[in-house]
Amino acid sequence: NINIRDYINRQINTLGVEGLDEVTVEDENLTCVICMDKFVEDRQNVVVSLECNHLFHRNCLLPWFQEHQSCPICREEQFQDNL
Protein backbone atom coordinates (compact mmCIF):
# COMPACT_ATOMS: atom_id res chain seq x y z
CA ASN A 1 0.00 0.00 0.00
CA ILE A 2 1.16 3.49 -0.86
CA ASN A 3 0.60 6.14 1.78
CA ILE A 4 -0.69 8.86 -0.53
CA ARG A 5 0.17 11.75 1.83
CA ASP A 6 3.80 10.57 2.12
CA TYR A 7 3.96 10.12 -1.63
CA ILE A 8 2.63 13.62 -2.29
CA ASN A 9 5.06 15.12 0.22
CA ARG A 10 7.93 13.40 -1.62
CA GLN A 11 6.60 14.79 -4.91
CA ILE A 12 6.35 18.27 -3.40
CA ASN A 13 9.97 18.09 -2.29
CA THR A 14 10.99 17.10 -5.81
CA LEU A 15 8.78 19.71 -7.44
CA GLY A 16 10.05 22.41 -5.13
CA VAL A 17 13.52 22.00 -6.54
CA GLU A 18 13.19 21.06 -10.17
CA GLY A 19 9.84 19.67 -11.30
CA LEU A 20 7.73 22.75 -11.92
CA ASP A 21 8.32 24.71 -15.10
CA GLU A 22 9.33 28.29 -14.35
CA VAL A 23 7.72 30.77 -16.71
CA THR A 24 7.92 34.46 -17.49
CA VAL A 25 4.60 36.31 -17.35
CA GLU A 26 4.29 39.22 -19.73
CA ASP A 27 0.77 40.30 -18.80
CA GLU A 28 1.21 42.57 -15.79
CA ASN A 29 -2.46 42.20 -14.85
CA LEU A 30 -2.38 38.45 -14.22
CA THR A 31 -2.52 37.31 -10.61
CA CYS A 32 -1.89 34.17 -8.63
CA VAL A 33 -5.31 32.79 -7.63
CA ILE A 34 -3.95 31.50 -4.34
CA CYS A 35 -2.54 34.75 -2.90
CA MET A 36 -4.22 37.19 -5.34
CA ASP A 37 -0.94 39.10 -5.88
CA LYS A 38 0.19 40.08 -9.35
CA PHE A 39 2.92 38.10 -11.02
CA VAL A 40 6.09 40.18 -10.92
CA GLU A 41 9.56 39.10 -11.90
CA ASP A 42 11.75 38.65 -8.87
CA ARG A 43 13.53 35.83 -7.10
CA GLN A 44 11.00 35.57 -4.26
CA ASN A 45 7.94 35.24 -6.48
CA VAL A 46 8.93 32.60 -9.02
CA VAL A 47 6.02 31.82 -11.35
CA VAL A 48 5.45 28.20 -12.32
CA SER A 49 3.14 26.41 -14.73
CA LEU A 50 1.39 23.10 -14.13
CA GLU A 51 0.69 20.52 -16.84
CA CYS A 52 -2.72 22.15 -17.32
CA ASN A 53 -0.92 25.46 -18.06
CA HIS A 54 -2.32 27.31 -15.06
CA LEU A 55 0.16 29.70 -13.42
CA PHE A 56 0.97 30.22 -9.74
CA HIS A 57 3.68 31.52 -7.50
CA ARG A 58 5.84 28.54 -6.56
CA ASN A 59 5.70 29.54 -2.87
CA CYS A 60 1.89 29.55 -2.98
CA LEU A 61 1.53 26.29 -4.86
CA LEU A 62 3.74 24.05 -2.75
CA PRO A 63 1.69 24.48 0.45
CA TRP A 64 -1.46 23.88 -1.63
CA PHE A 65 -0.03 20.51 -2.68
CA GLN A 66 0.39 19.52 0.95
CA GLU A 67 -3.40 19.38 1.22
CA HIS A 68 -4.45 18.70 -2.40
CA GLN A 69 -3.06 16.80 -5.35
CA SER A 70 -4.78 18.82 -8.02
CA CYS A 71 -4.59 22.18 -9.74
CA PRO A 72 -6.25 24.91 -7.62
CA ILE A 73 -8.14 26.17 -10.69
CA CYS A 74 -9.26 23.19 -12.77
CA ARG A 75 -8.63 20.39 -10.23
CA GLU A 76 -6.66 18.32 -12.75
CA GLU A 77 -4.75 15.64 -10.84
CA GLN A 78 -1.03 16.43 -10.82
CA PHE A 79 0.67 13.31 -9.43
CA GLN A 80 -1.51 10.55 -10.84
CA ASP A 81 0.91 9.50 -13.62
CA ASN A 82 3.67 8.81 -11.12
CA LEU A 83 1.71 6.50 -8.76
Residue 83 pLDDT greater than 50, yes or no: no
Q: pLDDT tens digit string along 5-63? A: 666 666 666 655 456 778 888 888 899 999 999 988 777 778 888 888 899 988 888 88
Q: What is the pTM of this model?
A: 0.70
Buried-exposed string 17-51: b where 16+ CB fall within 10 A, e elsewhere? eeebeeeebeeeeeebeeeeeebeeeeebbbbebe
Strands (DSSP E) found in the chain: 21-22, 47-49, 55-57
Name the amino acid, one letter, at 41. Answer: E
